[in-house]
Structure 1
Amino acid sequence: MRLSVRLILALGLPGMIAACAGPMATRDSAPVEVGIIGINDFHGSLEPPRQAVNVSDGKGGVIPVPAGGAAWLASAIDSVRAGHPQSLTVSAGDMISASQLASSLYLDEPSIGVMNRIGVDFNAVGNHEFDRGQNELLRMQNGGCEKLTPKQPCAIEPFTGATFRYLSASTVKADGSTLFPATGLRTFGKGKRAVTIGVIGLTLKGTPNLVVPSGIAGLTFADEADTINAAVPKLKAQGADAIIVLIHEGGRTKGEPDPQGCTDFAGDIRPILDRLDTRVDVVVSGHTHWSYVCDYGKLNPAKPFLLTSAGVYGELVTDITLKIDPVSGRVVSKAAKNVIVQSVPYTSSRGPLANTPLFPQFQPRADIAQYVAKYVDASKAYTQRPIGKIDRAAPKNEGAEGGAGGPLGNLLADAQLGATRQAGAQIAFMNPFGIRAPLVPAADGTLTFGDIYLNQPFGNNVVTATMTGAQIKATLEEGLDDTGPKQVLAPSAGFAFAYDPARPSGDRIVSITLDGQPLGMGQTYRVTVNGFLALGGDGFSGFVGMPDAVTGPTDIDALESWIKAVPVRVVPQEVRAGVVPKA
């Protein structure tokens, strides 16, 4: 027997209505799950970058896992996406520039093409997005073949621009508007089950210290926390149930490598996070090339959001799960994990690196692999050209040692000194954070142009100018002070310095010598650095405005010339910058 609702009411049977309505009400009010798939700092890594994600083995050692490559990244994102019927794919900046040659030669058009095919929804503008200037960045969004740089656009095929949306909430033009939209919204579900995700995207305030000034002329970069806090109520007013921040700023953890951990988290992003509106739910970060997953509420109970970073070069993907109450319009639970994009084995500077069964190995997605191959094949004339030989592999310092150049930093400083002797250069310095990859020669020691390009992808000209000994000391101190991450400049042959990290900030240099003699504080010297440092990059303000400046060749041309100048270039192994031994 069927009873209509009207008859039930007439008979006075409200309990029967409750019994009928209960399951529907429960279904309507149950949390709605949305996946957020996060990446950052892709840097045009079309091919596997020949780097590993280091994971603790739980026994005091490290398991290196070969990872990365656009086609493998696509498969990993597809795998994560398969676990979320409703998802949003986001990037926290530096998607392009400082890229592999197959992307850089073609103005990073193929990297945009890869991300279009992967299905990215939003990308925050990072500092490297401005490397070729704001007009070229606008072309990345809008497409077209207008020639805005020395390189020819659309060299392989027409370029239609990004199908995803760049966001630049803190990048402000002279008229007060932002270069790209500040925020975005995405709604999932229908009716009472609909939930809306609000996204804020921005770069770090310090971007002007990291790019060529002409590329950002007329732009200002606002305070990160103020920008985010101003955007949150606007998104809430537009119906956002969850707030996701994509910020190109980050931090680092300490201890054994742990892409899922947050041990002793520190960095320039922390003061920003501690000021954020409590309605922020997730912060996807980048810039430091470090991987972590932080329940930030454990660091600051007043700020109970998730903080994540997927490292660099597409080696990881962050899988974030949000459960949202559609009735109250708030996030009721959130969780995240980093997925290693295990790809193919390779030979590192320390020898062969095989796959491990401890983590899934992804297969390359066929359409992405085919698309990338078109650009890789076109670039082979550049990448496969032999340029000389070195006597051994030159590893890139990683992890806790990443702030020191080591033998590879010494080699690069020597190359820049050698290229600028005619300008009177006596000393050269290389910034370790500007070293992008190890130099791994073939079995006979041969390096190709592709090998050195991976190491120096910026195309910076080197600059030689005059500094006093006191100015040199003060500039070296900047790399050792308590502002930002520590970075020990790698010096050229004949120059050495020792420092004591226990001494007060600004007074940590203990000794400096040139050719075995103490550096004269009042004496002048001719010093060579790359153009990035000459503009104050990485916070080294002491190089800005050096007098009698002479611009030399590009850093990569200097390295090629140095290696090919002798039959086999010896990688210098001596310690030129070191900590004073404890008594």
Structure 2
Amino acid sequence: MPFHGRRLSALSVVALSTLALGISTVAGSSATAARPSGPDAKSVYTHLQKSNTKDFVKLDLLALNDFHGNLETVPSTSSSGRINNTPAGGAAYLARKIRDERKTSRANGAVPITVAAGDLIGASPLLSAAFHDEPTIKAMNRIGLQVTSVGNHEFDEGYRELKRMQHGGCLDDGDGANGQDSCPAGQDFEGAKFQYLSANAKFDDPAAHGGHETVFPGTKIFKVKGQKVAFIGMTLEGTASIVSQAGIQGVTFTDEVETANALVPKLRAKGVKSIVVLLHEGVAPADPTAYNDCTASSGPALDIAQNLDPAIDAVVSGHTHQAYNCVVDDPAGNPRLLTSASSFGRMVSKLHLLIDPRTHDIVRPAEYARNMIVRNDSTVTPAGDLLSLIDTYKTLVAPIENEVIGHIEPGSQITRTADADGGDSPLGNLIADAQKADSSVVTGSGQKPVIALMNPGGIRADLVENEQGEVTYGKAFSVQPFNNFVVSMDLTGAQIKALLNEQWNGGNEGSKKILQVSGLTYTWDTSDAALADTDALVPGSVMVDADGDPATPMVALEDGTTYRVVANNFLSDGGDGFATFKEGTAKLIGGLDIDSLRSYLLAHDPVSPTPTDRITQQP
């Protein structure tokens, strides 16, 4: 059995030999299969540390990912508020769980380090987003987070704002007048006490950034009872395609495997042998309910974990919002952990590691992990200091959150549920209509958009009323929490058709993304033959409201005619695989997308759902 050239004590070798049958399922023989981190590795760990406790250094990693500013608990009736059927989540309960696990680790002679794999902020509920996620950074400070990779959502407001998250300081943003209020009511913001890592977020011109090659350091080294342990932090290489380009101008996201592997010799030169990667990229397990399993899993993080340098001992991952507990083989055939702790603070991964002080390296056959639910029921006492923080910001957010901006026609529902015959939804139609009507994207010559296109992934909740039957800013914000800008542009009819075909071609071939539309109707052919072609649009079916007047008949979209189109800046930059948006010309950046919706609801009070007949399909 390969141990990556690690020299173990004689007693250790005996111990491993006696457990050879037990760890065969951990080390495995397949270089491609992922499998659960199970009791066999735990047996090796327990046997080694008991048989030679003075020699081996015990290290426990407490890991989370994809918190997304979810400070409050979510009702367990929502899938975001539970793991399977167990109520879970909330910063005060997350703090309690991590603190309790730290105590357990120390009682067992282990050193705990709390880590994360990105997307702690961004796409956050209003309680955090209204204050530029300052409350979440404060919460993570109190929880005791020590190091994290950056995720793609950390770049939602640009890398400069992310640097403010690290270093602190306040923004002059209108004191809540625009739905956001940095450092409200005299609150300060000192920034993160933990370290962001961004090994593969690299400046194109380091000289313009004080010689720094990366947005944040790529690595951080901890001393654990005299042993050096390094963390490499990265987001997914594809970040540039899923965040606004304006905030990452001059930043390139490099290949994860190449980036991490290039850092290994640099870390070894510093005497580091124990290395863990914090990776914001994920896996899709076949059974998402089996949170300590890894059966039939697939995804980019799996390939990355299998190809990282054999010197890297474990991978803590995220991005897919799934929970999994995997072991994969590295290129040398050695077992390597790959874990993820779901999302929204509903789980914590605990990785148990042993470091051999003679080799200064992690004993790989002995590493194992557990995913633990962050229960928030009556059996758990939440952390009081986190409850206090949450209460402070709940008071501060109330004036922003409770502004009434409209009503829904009695007896109606405006949901994001896509129509089975086509793909548009009542809420998608409403958002597209609102963006098309937004005066902030009308050109100086008075040219208004005649078409609006909205990405379905940007619609995060149904539009609902509060108990008083009112649509508040808070309810509307939960629908569109990204603070994207609306952008109008010129596109030809041929380019618009190309965009529509990108819904099921290219990067969206495996998972179709049906854009929500306004001022446009069409039919698409769902047959395998049509989708295998580059054009599944039914000929002659694409119709446009060419003059922007819904009272006049729609006309056929002409390939050579130029139309004014509006979309959010995420799409405008080519996000979600819609590269043709980047060909748009005469772009005009308007206001925030949430303001488009707010203005439309105020102007159409009460609002009614539209028929979902803008997109149809055959056969």
Answer yes or no: is 1:113 the counterpart of 2:138.
yes
Question: Which residue matches 1:73?
Answer: 94
Answer yes or no: is 1:166 the counterpart of 2:196.
yes
For 1:178 and 1:287, the matched residues in 2 are separated by: 21
One-letter amino acid of the counterpart of residue 152, structure 2: N
Matched-pair contact (CA < 8 Å) for 1:410–1:493: no
Classify 1:520/1:262 alpha carbon distance in 2 versus 1 (closer, same or farther; 3 Å).
Answer: farther
Structure 1 residue runs of 5 or longer lacking an equivalent are: 1-22, 345-359
Map 1:16-31 onto structure 2 (within 5 A). 26-28=51-53, 31=56
Query: Deviations 1:352-384 (Å, cap 9, x if unpaired)?
Result: xxxxxxxx9644311001012111211100101
For 2:608 and 2:401, the matched residues in 1 are separated by: 22
Answer yes or no: is 1:537 the counterpart of 2:575.
yes
Q: How much does 1:535 deviate?
A: 1.4
Matched-pair contact (CA < 8 Å) for 1:500–1:508: no
Map 1:325-336 onto structure 2 (within 5 A). 325-328=356-359, 329-331=361-363, 332-336=365-369
Answer yes or no: is 1:426 the counterpart of 2:450.
yes
Q: How much does 1:108 deviate?
A: 2.0
For 1:264 and 1:25, the matched residues in 2 are separated by: 34
Classify 1:257/1:433 alpha carbon distance in 2 versus 1 (closer, same or farther; 3 Å).
Answer: farther
Question: Which residue matches 2:347?
Answer: 316
Classify 1:108/1:443 alpha carbon distance in 2 versus 1 (closer, same or farther; 3 Å).
Answer: closer
Matched-pair contact (CA < 8 Å) for 1:200–1:246: yes
Matched-pair contact (CA < 8 Å) for 2:67–2:343: yes
Classify 1:461/1:132 alpha carbon distance in 2 versus 1 (closer, same or farther; 3 Å).
Answer: closer
Q: How much does 1:124 deviate?
A: 1.0
Q: How much does 1:281 deviate?
A: 2.4
Question: Which residue matches 2:459?
Answer: 435
Query: Deviations 1:328-373 (Å, cap 9, x if unpaired)?
Result: 42323233333333437xxxxxxxxxxxxxxx96443110010121
Matched-pair contact (CA < 8 Å) for 2:275–2:311: yes
Question: Which residue matches 1:186?
Answer: 222
Query: Deviations 1:537-560 (Å, cap 9, x if unpaired)?
Result: 223211114124344432111212
| Aligned partner of residue 292 in structure 1, secondary structure | strand
Matched-pair contact (CA < 8 Å) for 2:149–2:234: yes
For 1:430 and 1:300, the matched residues in 2 are separated by: 42
For 2:379 and 2:453, the matched residues in 1 are separated by: 40
Q: How much does 1:459 deviate?
A: 2.2
Classify 1:104/1:501 alpha carbon distance in 2 versus 1 (closer, same or farther; 3 Å).
Answer: farther
Q: How much does 1:572 deviate?
A: 4.0
Query: Deviations 1:239-278 (Å, cap 9, x if unpaired)?
Result: 4443211122224334564433445433344443343112
| Aligned partner of residue 560 in structure 1, secondary structure | helix
Matched-pair contact (CA < 8 Å) for 2:417–2:426: no
Answer yes or no: is 1:129 the counterpart of 2:154.
yes
Q: Aligned-pair RMSD on alpha carbons?
A: 3.6
For 1:264 and 1:500, the matched residues in 2 are separated by: 28
Matched-pair contact (CA < 8 Å) for 2:450–2:519: no
State TM-score, norm by structure 1: 0.80
When the two structures are aligned, how many residues end up with a matched partner? 531
Answer yes or no: is 1:177 the counterpart of 2:213.
yes
For 2:297 and 2:150, the matched residues in 1 are separated by: 24
Map 1:191-210 onto structure 2 (within 5 A). 194-210=226-242
Answer yes or no: is 1:509 the counterpart of 2:545.
no
Q: How much does 1:228 deviate?
A: 0.5
Matched-pair contact (CA < 8 Å) for 1:251–1:266: yes
For 1:181 and 1:120, the matched residues in 2 are separated by: 17
For 1:405 and 1:308, the matched residues in 2 are separated by: 36
Q: Pick from 398, 401, 404 the counterpart of residue 383 of structure 1.
A: 401
Classify 1:510/1:342 alpha carbon distance in 2 versus 1 (closer, same or farther; 3 Å).
Answer: farther
Matched-pair contact (CA < 8 Å) for 1:167–1:200: yes
Structure 2 residue runs of 5 or longer lacking an equivalent are: 1-47, 207-211, 545-553
Matched-pair contact (CA < 8 Å) for 2:49–2:56: no
Q: Pick from 362, 387, 391 the counterpart of residue 369 of structure 1.
A: 387
One-letter amino acid of the counterpart of residue 428, structure 2: G
Matched-pair contact (CA < 8 Å) for 1:53–1:315: no
For 1:320 and 1:480, the matched residues in 2 are separated by: 39
One-letter amino acid of the counterpart of residue 221, structure 1: F
For 2:116 and 2:613, the matched residues in 1 are separated by: 39
Question: Which residue matches 2:518?
Answer: 492
Q: Pick from 563, 578, 587 the counterpart of residue 549 of structure 1.
A: 587
Classify 1:179/1:494 alpha carbon distance in 2 versus 1 (closer, same or farther; 3 Å).
Answer: closer
Classify 1:467/1:24 alpha carbon distance in 2 versus 1 (closer, same or farther; 3 Å).
Answer: closer
Answer yes or no: is 1:455 the counterpart of 2:493.
no
Query: Deviations 1:65-88 (Å, cap 9, x if unpaired)?
Result: 543322122123224334322211
Query: Deviations 1:70-120 (Å, cap 9, x if unpaired)?
Result: 212212322433432221111111222332223223232221111010000
Q: Percent identity?
A: 38
Instruction: Tell me whether 367-376 or 433-442 shows the greater mean CA deviation.
Output: 433-442
One-letter amino acid of the counterpart of residue 311, structure 1: S
For 1:407 and 1:254, the matched residues in 2 are separated by: 31
Question: Which residue matches 1:226?
Answer: 258
| Aligned partner of residue 188 in structure 2, secondary structure | coil
| Aligned partner of residue 73 in structure 2, secondary structure | coil
Question: Which residue matches 1:413?
Answer: 432
Question: Which residue matches 1:339?
Answer: 372
Matched-pair contact (CA < 8 Å) for 1:53–1:64: no
Q: Pick from 459, 470, 475 the counterpart of residue 446 of structure 1.
A: 470
Map 1:274-293 onto structure 2 (within 5 A). 274-293=306-325
One-letter amino acid of the counterpart of residue 431, structure 2: L
For 2:97 and 2:416, the matched residues in 1 are separated by: 26
For 1:342 and 1:470, the matched residues in 2 are separated by: 53
| Aligned partner of residue 307 in structure 1, secondary structure | strand
Query: Deviations 1:14-51 (Å, cap 9, x if unpaired)?
Result: xxxxxxxxx99943566543221111222222223557
Query: Deviations 1:503-539 (Å, cap 9, x if unpaired)?
Result: 4556262435336876444444332211111111223
Matched-pair contact (CA < 8 Å) for 1:432–1:487: yes
Matched-pair contact (CA < 8 Å) for 1:430–1:491: yes
For 1:83 and 1:256, the matched residues in 2 are separated by: 28
